[in-house]
Amino acid sequence: MREVAITGVGSTSFGKHDGRGLESLAVEAANAALRRAGVERKEIGAVYLGNFIAGPLSGQEVLAGIVADELGLENIPCTKVEGACASGGIAFRHAVLSVAAGLCDAALVVGVEKMTHASGGQVTQALNCAMDNRSDGPSGLTFPGLFGLAWRIHAAKYGTTRDEVSAVVIKNKANGLKNPLAQLGADLNPEIIRQSQPIADPIQLYDCCPVSDGAAAVIVVAKDRARGAPDLPIDVLAAVQTRGSPRIGGHQDIVSFDATVKAAERAYQAAGLTAKDIDLVELHDCFSMAEIIDSEDLGLIPRGLGAKWAAEGRTRVGGDIPINASGGLLAKGHPVGATGVGQLYEAVLQLRGMHANQVDGAGIAMTHNLGGAGIACTVSILKRSDA
């Protein structure tokens, strides 16, 4: 397999894009990435587009071909990838595989979602397509509910408190205020969070990511083709994808996702690194409790201490392991199919030293994208090419 790198990146802001369609958002992000790709459009040999719910919410499929046509790409394979909230991360991995295997020298990855035009009930119903609807779905469970279930166990096992969990929310919302692409940065305190509406006990409103529109794109190229790019190329050390149980009852333990644990193990092995080598991570904080579980599953924080480290400030920019300097899904937003690609966009800016909420001396970054009730996961590790 050949070594691969990321050259061009592009992103819309995440948030409410009234009057704009999926195609418009995807083309804006992808065209920005192509302009900084360092390769010609005719050299792009494959497109992988991450999207989850364009069918139920917008009545539009075949997006990969539509977007490639608008961008003026050749008659190349254009594939839409679906893995619930991990759709973007999976699209990236497939582009990496295409280039690493030598099937093409350059590939476009774009993730996109349009959600804010639909009602809350429609969005919840569409997101529930990510459950196993033969088993968990009929109970009326929702995704906030899944993390409410996990929270009670985390609290019972490790003594995690409401205010410790709030530290995750306060950090990510503050990070979001510094990110020009973020939808919902805010200056919060534990009292405001405690007073917010209950959603799925103990999950409250501020524990949840917002409903978002947005798109992000990256160009993946063979490393020997990255030299001509206008911006510092970023090496891809690992791009791993795993499967976990589709059912809650299938997980060994509801406060850990096997798909994340396995993906992290394989990513560290592929990169020849350990958790101590990671300078920053963009991980899948769809809910406050998700960040706590993810950070433990990735081996970045000892089991049970995810919330306590946040409360001690150890996951802030400047802390032991900066988590979600972008604001994460909680503050930057969660346009589902775009999220995994957006994480890569943020990590690339960090490694180039160009991020609005910069982690000093960032040389190695991890991204983590988790879908469904833990059924699909990707973990990627990126490195500055001159580090």
Partner 1 sequence: MDAKPGTLEVLRCGACAALDPGPREICPRCHQASLQPHAVAGEGRLLTWTVIRRPPAAFRAEGAYAVAVIELDAGLKVTGRLEAPEDVNGLGSRVRLVRSKDGVAIFRAV
Question: What beta strand segments (E) does the chain contain?
Answer: 4-11, 44-50, 78-81, 106-113, 198-200, 203-204, 214-222, 234-243, 280-282, 364-371, 376-384
Gap between the terminal Cα atoms of the chain: 22
- Can residue 59 be called a binding residue for partner 1 (CB under 8 A)? no
Q: How far is CA 328 from the centre of its chain?
A: 8
Distance CA 116, CA 201 (A): 25
- Considering only 248, 321, 323, 331, the residue that binds partner 1 (CB under 8 A) is 248
**How far does Cα 218 stand from its chain's mean position?**
13
Catalytic option among 17, 78, 85, 94: 85
Among 62, 139, 230, 318, binds partner 1 (CB under 8 A): 139
Tell which one of 82, 105, 113, 136 touches partner 1 (CB under 8 A). Answer: 136
63 touching partner 1, by CB under 8 A: no
Residues in a beta bridge with 5: 221, 235
Site for partner 1 contains 120 (CB under 8 A)? yes
- Min dist CB 252 to partner 1, Å, is 10
Q: Quick check: is 17 catalytic? A: no
Residue 334 annotated among the catalytic residues of the structure:
yes
CB 40 within 8 A of CB 73: no
| Active-site position among 334, 355, 368, 377 | 334
Q: Which stretch binds partner 1 (CB under 8 A): 65-73, 150-158, 217-225, 273-281?
A: 150-158
Q: Which is nearer to partner 1, 148 or 371 (CB)?
A: 148
Q: Which stretch binds partner 1 (CB under 8 A): 54-62, 70-78, 201-209, 218-226?
A: 201-209
Size of the site for partner 1 (CB under 8 A): 36
Spatial separation of the C-alpha atoms in residues 153 and 158, rounded to whole Å: 8
**Can you tell me the distance from the alpha carbon of 279 to that of 360, in angstroms, rounded to the nearest whole number?**
9
Active-site residue list: 85, 334
The contact set with partner 1 (CB under 8 A) reads 119-122, 124-125, 128, 134-136, 138-142, 144-145, 148-153, 156, 197-203, 247-250, 254
